[in-house]
Structure 1
Amino acid sequence: MADFIKNLPPAAVTYLEGKRLDEVECIISDLPGIARGKAVPASKFARQDYFHLPDSIFYQTITGDWGEAAGDEGFTEKDMILKPDMSTATAAPWTGDWTLQIIHDAYDRHDKPVEFSPRNVLKRVVQLYHDKGWEPVVAPEMEFFLVARNLDPAQEIKPMIGRSGRPAAARQAYSMTAVDEFGPVIDDIYDFAEAQGFEIDGITQEGGAGQLEINLLHGDPVKLADEVFYFKRLIREAAMRHECYATFMAKPIEDEPGSAMHIHHSVLDAKTGKNIFSGENGEETAEFKHYIAGLQNHMPAALAVIAPYVNSYRRYVKDHAAPINLEWGYDNRTTGIRVPLSGAASRRVENRLAGMDCNPYLAIAASLACGYLGLLEKSEPKTEFKGDAYEGDGDIPRVLGAALDLFDEATQLHDVLGPEFARVFGIVKRAEYDEFLQVISPWEREHLLLNV
């Protein structure tokens, strides 16, 4: 890899023009979506084709504890072989020196992809589409909050102070004045994104206090998941420069809307490049309805993947800008599955259930898996919902424990995502849920201590 600098993506080449590369961050996503890896001098990276990390990084809960998911061999922490995907090389423009980040893929000692590595899970699902002659296309939307620095977990999270010196206001969706309040942070987000070669389709103010949304252009699922993975770090670093935090919690502030990662889906015929959701005359095809049905039928079992924490389920509350069911409708933002206004070539299905706290690789993989099963089953969706779906009954799990029960039983979904991934994910999330259940909340102390 001695000549790797000559073959970097264009944005990385531009970033390093006239500079000396100091360091390379070799990173991989764990189950929660945290970047794990090693930082090495550029000269050392040039001499290596791979590096090692123990497979135990995929057995960790969000708190740093461990799920007993090591399998028959026991907890030996055997090394994985991590190989760089040089197409992902990008700047780390917030660092003090000239640094690149490069995403790696995980392989076992027999050079087979590690099945529970999130990027490999998504690659597996995309390959299943390819095997059928289909090309999946996605476009994620990222919602997040900019909040005041919070050094005490016992204190409530509060909106950040904007340029005006006042806390960010709620219920100002699409307000340009509200966006201007965070101008310095947004400027750094744009600058970092440009240095990393990412194209932002737009930034808008959402309904929550200090809540923003970034839209990305549609494209290859793995590439877009890489970008979301990178963007989470990028946005956090931009916020830290301005004495605030960026949080991707699904529900960080009481009485405010939650943060979603809406996922738009379409599927192309690999030979013709045409959208299989539209016919020759622009009409909806059977495949379009099958895809919607797949989301309706299989998303309850996949919910533990796209809503992976106890906090995730605080977002699914009536009239708080998050779906509570899997109804579908045309241009209806109250349904869990929305068909946006579009021409025939760009006909697509929007999954509005995923929270922004998800691992982007796993959430996109799970959503694609549900649609894939619908295409194979040729099932029909329920009748289009018209009206306010918030007034309807909820038909998704309300707590993580119930979602995990459905996930554990979903053998069809496991076959698509990978049985070994399903095994490890279920064990780790159960361990995490058990940890949470040991915590006594302020609500319990306030209302139960002297009253029961």
Structure 2
Amino acid sequence: MPDTVTKLTPEAADFLARYPDTRHLDAIFPDLSGVIRGKRYPMSEFGKVTSDGLAFPASVYMLDTMGQSHDPAGLGFSDGDPDRVAKIVEGTLLPVPWAQQPSAQALITLQEANGSPYPYEPRNILLSTLRQLKALSLRPVVAFELEFYLFDRERAEGGVPQPPVSPLTGQRDSGTQVYGMDALDGFSAVIEEIGAACEAQGIVTGAITSEYAPGQFEINLHHLDDAMKAADHCIFFKRTVKGVARKHGFQASFMAKPFLEQAGSGLHMHISLLDDKGRNVFDGGNEPASPRLKHALGGVLETLPEAMAFLAPNVNSFRRYVPDIFVPIRRCWGFENRSVALRIPLGDGAARRIEHRIAGADANPYLTLATALAGIHHGLTHKSDPGAPAEGNTGHAYDPDLPFRPRRALDRLSETKLLACYFGADYLEAYVACKHAELDRFESHISQAEYDWYLQAD
């Protein structure tokens, strides 16, 4: 039975009134790698958890992709792995539409003993960056676009994932049919249920497209003038896609580059800025780009080299950066140009925005958005110059100023001072330490390629 003895918050009471048959509550959060973790509580503890919070070890925000703790910057074993108070984030108590039993879910956020936000939590990193923009009387409007793959639950030889069999044709697609309607029709049951599940959670989705590889899709989320809510919705969206896909017998993955010969999956962000009167400061009127838009572009481009460690958070992430496949590999911007890092899409001045196209779909949305907003803030306050807009294909050669290997990206982040002003030097130190430890662990395994290449070597 639900806990109704504890005094319920208005949100919790309203949820129980709407969903009285709920069987359990998932208290969830994304770690620094974007992996969703949490605890499941019986409804007998619903009131206590939603009203008083729960205890969580603070080190959970410093786990590697496989959930291993490496004690980065002394967070874990060295400090005794202390708990922090975790509170339910207001407005995130939602149903789990794809669950076999009626279920609830909610995001949690950690607090220090004095009630201040826990500084090593990605959500609070974004919060800190938003506060700096708020001090300029600016409010971001944000929308995320995410690409993902649907895979067959059965693996090909060697454990390699393979495209699913189309329910429409009974065949396994092998070629690229970008914007192909047959692919959407073939997987309409899972796609439509993803949309319905999002709607049940208050997440508004837009266009759905079949992308550049068999089994690859993109679903757009609507613009929100609450950047934190947009990032929260991104987390719930990813969980929804995976949950609904499992229900239909597929595996959904936001892995950045599952196949070397096929397109990777990106996380694109559309960002504009409103002033205190609700006007878009990127609107240049008769000019295609306002001065503040140019300053914002310049700031993001300036911070890109150090931001790469967040935009591409693991070894596979960097495999996505390949020339001539519409994945940006140079620091540049342009109008209606999909080869640039920062694209200015079509639209009138009031809709003028930046499309940030660099991050992989496996990136943590809070940290990814925080890097972009930090760059925008830096550009506005320092009047950064982005240079002239690029024309034609800019994706033919790598930018020597961008690090395209994991350790180079981490080294660049360690050397920088810009993002430290937004993320905090201590957080950057811990993040770099965690990711270096993850790389060490990854490189400790002997791959099949090593046997193929070196077993016969003299």
Check whether TM > 0.5: yes
Does residue 1:112 correspond to 2:113, yes or no? no
Match 1:397 to one of 394, 403, 425: 403
- In the superposition, the TM-score normalised over structure 1's length comes to 0.94
1:26-425 correspondence to structure 2 within 5 Å? 26-48=27-49, 49-71=52-74, 74-150=78-154, 154-163=158-167, 164-219=169-224, 220-269=226-275, 271-279=276-284, 284-395=289-400, 396-425=402-431
Distance apart, 1:302 and its partner CA: 0.4
Report if the CA contact (8 A) 2:209-2:219 is conserved. Answer: yes
Give the whole-Å Cα distance in 2 for the aligned partners of 1:153 and 1:321.
30
Give the whole-Å Cα distance in 2 for the aligned partners of 1:55 and 1:125.
21
Distance apart, 1:406 and its partner CA: 0.6
3-state SS in 2 of match to 1:86: coil
Report if the CA contact (8 A) 1:8-1:87 is conserved. Answer: no
Number of matched pairs? 448
Q: How has the CA–CA distance of structure 1 residues 217 and 4 changed in structure 2, closer, same or farther, with 3 Å as cutoff? A: farther
- 1:403-433 CA distances to partner (integer Å, 9 max, x unpaired)? 1011111212111122222121111111111
Higher mean alpha-carbon deviation, 409-418 vs 258-267, is at 409-418
Counterpart amino acid of residue 47 in structure 2: A
Match 1:449 to one of 440, 452, 455: 455
Give the whole-Å Cα distance in 1 for the aligned partners of 2:207 and 2:184.
12
Give the whole-Å Cα distance in 1 for the aligned partners of 2:126 and 2:200.
26
Q: How has the CA–CA distance of structure 1 residues 151 and 279 changed in structure 2, closer, same or farther, with 3 Å as cutoff? A: closer
Q: How has the CA–CA distance of structure 1 residues 64 and 47 changed in structure 2, closer, same or farther, with 3 Å as cutoff? A: closer
- 1:426-448 CA distances to partner (integer Å, 9 max, x unpaired)? 11111111112212222332223
Distance apart, 1:450 and its partner CA: 2.1
Match 1:427 to one of 428, 433, 440: 433
Higher mean alpha-carbon deviation, 164-173 vs 135-144, is at 164-173
Counterpart amino acid of residue 125 in structure 2: V
Report if the CA contact (8 A) 1:58-1:116 is conserved. Answer: yes
Counterpart amino acid of residue 28 in structure 1: F
3-state SS in 1 of match to 2:339: coil
2:442 counterpart residue number? 436
Give the whole-Å Cα distance in 1 for the aligned partners of 2:42 and 2:117.
26
Give the whole-Å Cα distance in 2 for the aligned partners of 1:28 and 1:20.
24
Report if the CA contact (8 A) 1:9-1:87 is conserved. Answer: no
Q: How has the CA–CA distance of structure 1 residues 58 and 18 changed in structure 2, closer, same or farther, with 3 Å as cutoff? A: closer
3-state SS in 2 of match to 1:373: helix
Report if the CA contact (8 A) 2:284-2:291 is conserved. Answer: no
- In the superposition, the TM-score normalised over structure 2's length comes to 0.92
- 1:136-168 CA distances to partner (integer Å, 9 max, x unpaired)? 121110000001125689422211111111113
Q: How has the CA–CA distance of structure 1 residues 23 and 298 changed in structure 2, closer, same or farther, with 3 Å as cutoff? A: same
Distance apart, 1:3 and its partner CA: 5.7
Report if the CA contact (8 A) 2:210-2:217 is conserved. Answer: yes
Counterpart amino acid of residue 291 in structure 1: A
Gaps of 5+ in 2: none
Q: How has the CA–CA distance of structure 1 residues 18 and 387 changed in structure 2, closer, same or farther, with 3 Å as cutoff? A: closer
Give the whole-Å Cα distance in 2 for the aligned partners of 1:6 and 1:379.
46
Counterpart amino acid of residue 165 in structure 1: G
Higher mean alpha-carbon deviation, 60-69 vs 99-108, is at 60-69
Give the whole-Å Cα distance in 1 for the aligned partners of 2:233 and 2:31.
15
Superposed CA RMSD in Å reads: 2.1
Give the whole-Å Cα distance in 2 for the aligned partners of 1:383 and 1:283.
12
Identity of aligned residues (%): 33
Distance apart, 1:231 and its partner CA: 1.2
Higher mean alpha-carbon deviation, 429-438 vs 64-73, is at 64-73
Report if the CA contact (8 A) 1:37-1:53 is conserved. Answer: no
Does residue 1:17 correspond to 2:23, yes or no? no
Distance apart, 1:451 and its partner CA: 4.2
Report if the CA contact (8 A) 1:66-1:431 is conserved. Answer: no
Give the whole-Å Cα distance in 2 for the aligned partners of 1:393 and 1:95.
44
